[in-house]
């Protein structure tokens, strides 16, 4: 992590409910279809557990731990080291509360395949609990985090160091950092709602992800991509955020297709991020800039060498020197079928060293173009 933030600093130096409520009695006696057994927490049935962790400890791979809402809120720190399903009765009322927790995470997942659904996770504080839900397993086949609420967490609400996960139909609001995907990749993040978070979605050295159909509003950092490649962003709506819509740092070969960037301070910023494809998007009423594209040659070369060292052993090489492709986007500030210029600012830091005239990099503008801008906004549902 320290190395990651050091690299970010260098770059800036150069550039400047889905569940149906049913009575507890009905659930306690019904034998439900599952690959394993069902264990129950709360409710009134004989043999039900009073603590979630006790039920997890007694479970086996393939089991389901079902948590009733009658004993909520639950004040527990959980460790899930088995491939189970943890299911709440109702995401609005089955609450796990982080008030007073002293563990590093409210829920720590180390098993290969885990499903968590139907819960509200709230009130974790960063000075004690670093993560609300922390999932770390490089061998993970398919984690499912779906139909949950993350609210009022002053830490990393959902943090992944894993592969092949599904994060869908969750609601994140009033969190410090809502969803962070760190290393790994091949995740699907779709149909989530992010509202009033400091940072909503962050990708850090995380590749081959699908980010689809999410809605992000009133966030300070709605969508941040750092050293992350070959990701597909489609039909996301980034509207009314405090600063920018999307910030990309040193990330290449990503595709942005049919997204809405509207009513932000700026729509998209690409910093030392090249070889991306931006097509069929709506850029509407972003107050300062629709798009900012910033490149520093030394940063590009340095990052290419860095990635060559990191990935050449795996036969992969990420080139950061290709041009971004802009095609058929809609621009609310461009009422013409002629090509729309995209500002591209190249900072020659070496010029400062040679001339010793100025204390800041010297910018040279070289515009790129959206050669066929759309004349009407696209109907993008999100």
What residue ranges do the domains of the chain occupy?
1-16+194-382, 19-168
pTM of the predicted protein model: 0.84
What is the reported pLDDT for 18?
38
Residues 6+ apart with CB under 8 A from 207: 185, 186, 228, 229, 230, 231
Please tell me the distance from the alpha carbon of residue 6 to that of residue 177, in angstroms, as a whole number.
20
Mean pLDDT by 10 residues, the chain (382 residues): 47 42 37 72 94 98 98 97 97 96 93 96 87 82 94 95 95 98 94 98 97 98 96 98 92 96 94 92 93 66 50 39 86 95 62 49 69 97 81
Please say whether the beta carbons of 196 and 220 come within 8 A.
Answer: no
What is the reported pLDDT for 25?
36
What is the reported pLDDT for 357?
52
Please say whether the beta carbons of 160 and 139 come within 8 A.
Answer: no
What is the reported pLDDT for 355?
47
Select from 173, 159, 176 the least CA-distant residue to 1: 159
Rounded to 5 degrees, φ, ψ at 297 are -55, -40
What is the reported pLDDT for 294?
74
**3-class DSSP assignment, residue 302:** helix
Question: Which residue is associated with the tokens 């592969």?
Answer: 163
What is the reported pLDDT for 323?
81
Q: In Å, what is the CA distance from 101 to each residue of 47, 77, 107?
A: 27, 7, 11
Please tell me the distance from the alpha carbon of residue 359 to that of residue 170, in angstroms, as a whole number.
47
**3-class DSSP assignment, residue 355:** helix
Residue 136 host element (H or E): strand 131-137
Rounded to the nearest 10 degrees, the angle between the axes of helix 2-15 and helix 297-311 is 160
What is the reported pLDDT for 283?
97
What is the reported pLDDT for 351?
47
The residues with which 185 forms a beta bridge, in sequence order, are 163, 207
Please say whether the beta carbons of 90 and 116 come within 8 A.
Answer: no
Q: How are beta strands 260-262 and 282-284 bridged, if at all? A: parallel
Please tell me the distance from the alpha carbon of residue 345 to that of residue 278, in angstroms, as a whole number.
18
What is the reported pLDDT for 19?
33
């Amino acid at each position: 992590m320290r190395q990651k933030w050091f690299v970010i600093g260098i770059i800036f130096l150069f550039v400047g409910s889905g569940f149906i409520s049913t009575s507890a009695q009905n659930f306690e006696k019904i034998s439900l279809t599952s690959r394993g057994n069902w264990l129950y927490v709360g409710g009134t049935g004989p043999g039900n557990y009073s603590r979630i962790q006790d039920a997890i400890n007694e479970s086996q791979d393939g089991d389901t731990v079902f948590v009733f809402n009658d004993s909520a809120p639950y004040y527990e720190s959980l460790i899930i080291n088995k491939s189970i399903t943890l299911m709440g009765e109702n995401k609005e009322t089955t609450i796990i509360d982080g008030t007073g927790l002293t563990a590093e995470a409210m829920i720590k997942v180390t098993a290969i395949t885990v499903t968590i659904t139907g819960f509200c996770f709230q009130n974790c504080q960063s000075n004690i609990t670093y993560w609300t839900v922390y999932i770390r397993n490089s061998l993970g086949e398919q984690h499912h985090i779906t139909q949950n609420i993350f609210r009022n967490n002053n830490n990393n609400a959902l943090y992944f160091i894993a592969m092949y996960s599904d994060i869908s139909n969750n609601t994140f609001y009033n969190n410090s950092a809502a969803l962070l995907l760190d290393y790994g990749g091949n995740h699907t993040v779709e149909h989530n709602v992010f509202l009033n978070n400091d940072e909503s979605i962050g990708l850090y050295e995380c590749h081959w992800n699908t980010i689809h159909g999410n809605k992000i509003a009133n966030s300070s950092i709605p969508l941040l991509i750092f050293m992350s490649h070959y990701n597909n962003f489609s039909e996301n709506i980034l509207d009314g955020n405090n600063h920018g819509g999307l910030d990309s740092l040193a990330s290449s070969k990503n595709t942005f297709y049919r997204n809405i960037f509207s009513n932000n301070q700026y729509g998209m910023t690409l910093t030392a991020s090249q070889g991306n494809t931006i097509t069929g998007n709506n850029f509407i009423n972003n107050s300062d800039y629709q798009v900012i594209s910033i490149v520093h040659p030394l940063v590009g070369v340095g990052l290419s060498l860095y990635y060559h060292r990191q990935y050449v052993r795996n036969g992969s090489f990420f080139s950061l020197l290709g041009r971004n492709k802009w095609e058929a986007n809609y621009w609310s500030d461009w009422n013409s079928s002629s090509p729309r210029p995209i500002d591209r600012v190249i900072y020659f830091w070496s010029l400062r060293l040679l001339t010793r005239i100025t204390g800041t990099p010297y910018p040279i503008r070289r515009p790129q173009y959206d050669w066929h801008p759309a004349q009407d906004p696209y109907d993008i549902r999100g």
